[in-house]
Amino acid sequence: MSDDPKDQLDALSTSFREEVEAALDEDALYAVQVKYLGKKGLVSRQRAHMGKLAPEQRKAFGQAFNQTKGALEQLLAARREALTEAARSLRLARREDLTMLAQRRSAGSLHPITHTRRRLEAVFRGMGYDVLDGPHVEHQQYNFDDLNFQPDHPARDMQDTFFVQGRAGTDVDPLVLRTHTSPVQIRAMLTRPPPVRVIAQGTVFRRDDDATHSPMFHQIEGLCIDRGVGMADLKATLYRFVQAFFGSDLQVRLRPSFFPFVEPGAEFDMQCPFGREPSCRVCKGSGWIELGGSGMVHPAVLDAVDIDPEVYTGWAFGFGIDRMAMLLHAVPHMRLLFESDVRFLEQFPC
Ligand code: FA5
């Protein structure tokens, strides 16, 4: 290399440019920066020549040094920006094709049964009830025996009930797919000392299949056990529930009925929220909608769970969540609720 400081500066400048071009990432570029422009870098050290130059040369060299250093710094900054941009493009290209058209993503929504169930639960939670669920595969004892179903009750027939294991009269503990949420009454009373105030909800199974009956459906059930509880409390609770759920002053009525685990037993109806139009699709002009079964817990059931019927009384009710959703949304066939057809489900923006 020539001894002339200006020539040396030019030579360093050339090799700097070559090395900057050759640097393919930020680390390599930084190494070039340190090598040439760092405190003790090759270019920085050229400044030392100033002291050795004659005064008339010193000024010209000083200017050339500053110009060269400025140009090299600019070059470095431009290369750094280009490398950062290239790295960003590479990252994006690896992740996604930016030229592809955006696709509409559907956010999904709650199933109408889930939506109805959650609303029902919220109403009863607000009244101080705990919400429970029980196993779908249930002991025959809890599903039938402890609920005072007689051994020859038709509901125990294989035509009505899915038996999972064993049958009455054999040694094997008979298990069934629960046919209603009422066995949760037994489970609640066996595990909680009175007073008991619970709601049981969930999936139940029967060998039914037509427009308004499905082999798998959902029920919600209320149970209250305390001293001095009577039918008036049951009716008042149902009335409060209907008001809270439907948001208007609709009446409820009880009609005598039979369920083995309540005495007296009653069907409960609510006034039709759509009035009493002869053409009403919901109540068919009667002005009343049948919701489910209810009644005072039978003393035999209290006996079965060791609660003294002389001290405690209680009421229970239960109804189908699917039927309620069908009534409210004018769903013509129950199967529609369980076929997972998006065209149907999209009509419920829950
Ligand atoms: C019962 O299941 C009683 N456990 C209810 C009860 C609880 C009475 C507490 C007294 C005290 P029932 O079999 O009527 O009752 O059924 C109750 C509701 O479930 C019916 O009103 C109906 O809405 C619904 N339901 C019954 N079978 C089906 C089915 N296959 N598909 C859809 N919903 C059904």
Tell me, in angstroms, the distance from the centre of ligand 1 to residue 318's CA: 7
Tell me, in angstroms, the distance from the centre of ligand 1 to residue 326's CA: 15
Strand 216-226 relative to strand 313-320: parallel, antiparallel, unpaired? antiparallel
CA dist., res. 238 & res. 270, Å (int):
9
How far is residue 259 CA from its own chain's centroid? 36
Contact (CB, 8 A) for 350 and 115: yes
Name the residue of 180, 207, 294, 317 to mutate for ligand 1: max ligand atoms within 8 A of Cβ. 180
CA dist., res. 296 & res. 256, Å (int):
12
Tell me, in angstroms, the distance from the centre of ligand 1 to residue 340's CA: 23
Tell me, in angstroms, the distance from the centre of ligand 1 to residue 36's CA: 87
pLDDT of residue 224: 98
pLDDT of residue 168: 59
Residue 58 has pLDDT above 70, yes or no: yes
89-98 residues labelled b (16+ CB within 10 A) or e (exposed) = eeeeeeeeee
Tell me, in angstroms, the distance from the centre of ligand 1 to residue 71's CA: 87
295 in contact with ligand 1, CB cutoff 6 A:
yes
How far is residue 26 CA from its own chain's centroid? 45
317 in contact with ligand 1, CB cutoff 6 A:
yes
Range ranked top by mean pLDDT from 61-65, 119-123, 332-336: 119-123
pLDDT of residue 225: 98
pTM above 0.75, yes or no: no
Contact (CB, 8 A) for 4 and 16: no
Q: Whose CA is nearest to atom 24 of ligand 1?
A: 320
Tell me, in angstroms, the distance from the centre of ligand 1 to residue 292's CA: 6
pLDDT of residue 93: 78
CA dist., res. 294 & res. 273, Å (int):
21
241 in contact with ligand 1, CB cutoff 6 A:
no
- Structure confidence by residue, pLDDT tens digits, 316-325: 999 999 988 8
